[in-house]
Amino acid sequence: MAGMSKKERQTALLRLLEEQPFITDEALAGKFQVSIQTIRLDRLALGIPEVRERIKAVAEQKQTDLRSLEGTEVIGQLIELNLNEMAISILDIEPAHVFSKTKIVRGHHLFAQANSLAVAVIDADVVLTRTANIRFVRSGRLGERLVCKAVVTSNQTDRAHVEVTTRVGEDIVFFGKFIVVKMALDTMIGGG
């Protein structure tokens, strides 16, 4: 994409951001073979906020659709939610998430992101995980962005199957098959 005029680049940038709204300035600079500073000026000219703000705006909007969880109970930022169909969340790997020795993200944070998304995607008052078969495919590292996608593969009255894949860029980091059960809130309170 080198050798584009500024006008062409900005048009292409807008189109790309529609497809991949959470792409970073670094990745955009790589794609258009320009400096990060050029991308920042392009965004400024086009009135597009930085990626962190774009994610936050979408997350706030999606959280109002949640049924089984409170907004703050989703681990990561919810950026896509079609109840009983699919959901996507983003989690940036921060120092609190990694092993001190290796700077590799701890498994339970990957699990927490995936498990809470498998619950969030279901349209019921109370959803609990019954079983999960999970695989940690490659290690996530400090500073990487975990993009987690949950897809409902089967949905019955009392339970659902959800497949969750977490990626860093194109790489699969985590894959899990979850069976979650649905309950009514009034059977839970005071229940055995």
The smaller minimum CB distance to its own copies, of residues 8 and 73, is found at 73
Q: What is the size of the binding site for its own copies (CB under 8 A)?
A: 31
Write down the least CB distance from residue 136 to its own copies, Å.
5
Q: Please report, as residue ranges, which positions from 56 to 115 form the binding site for its own copies (by CB under 8 A).
A: 69-70, 73, 75, 99-102, 104, 106-108, 111-112, 115
- Is 135 a binding residue for its own copies by CB under 8 A? The answer is yes
163: left (phi over 0), alpha (psi -120 to 50) or beta: beta
Give the three-class secondary structure for 90: strand
Stretch that binds its own copies, among 25-33, 36-44, 158-166, 183-191 (CB under 8 A): 183-191
What secondary structure letter does DSSP report for 97? G
Distance CA 72, CA 84 (A): 20
What secondary structure letter does DSSP report for 1? -
Write down the least CB distance from residue 38 to its own copies, Å.
30
The smaller minimum CB distance to its own copies, of residues 83 and 132, is found at 132
The DSSP line for 147-179 is EEEEEEEEE-SSEEEEEEEEEETTEEEEEEEEE
Write down the least CB distance from residue 135 to its own copies, Å.
5
Of 13, 78, 117, 126, the residue at the interface with its own copies (CB under 8 A) is 126
Write down the least CB distance from residue 123 to its own copies, Å.
15
Write down the least CB distance from residue 162 to its own copies, Å.
13
Burial label, 41 (beta-carbon count in 10 A; 0-12, 13-18, 19+): middle
Write down the least CB distance from residue 137 to its own copies, Å.
9
b/e map of 71-90 (b: 16 or more CB within 10 Å)? eeebbbbbbbbebeebbbbb
User: What are the structure tokens assigned to 164, written together?
Assistant: 């969750």
Footprint on this chain of its own copies (rule: CB under 8 A) = 69-70, 73, 75, 99-102, 104, 106-108, 111-112, 115-116, 125-126, 128-136, 139, 185, 188-189
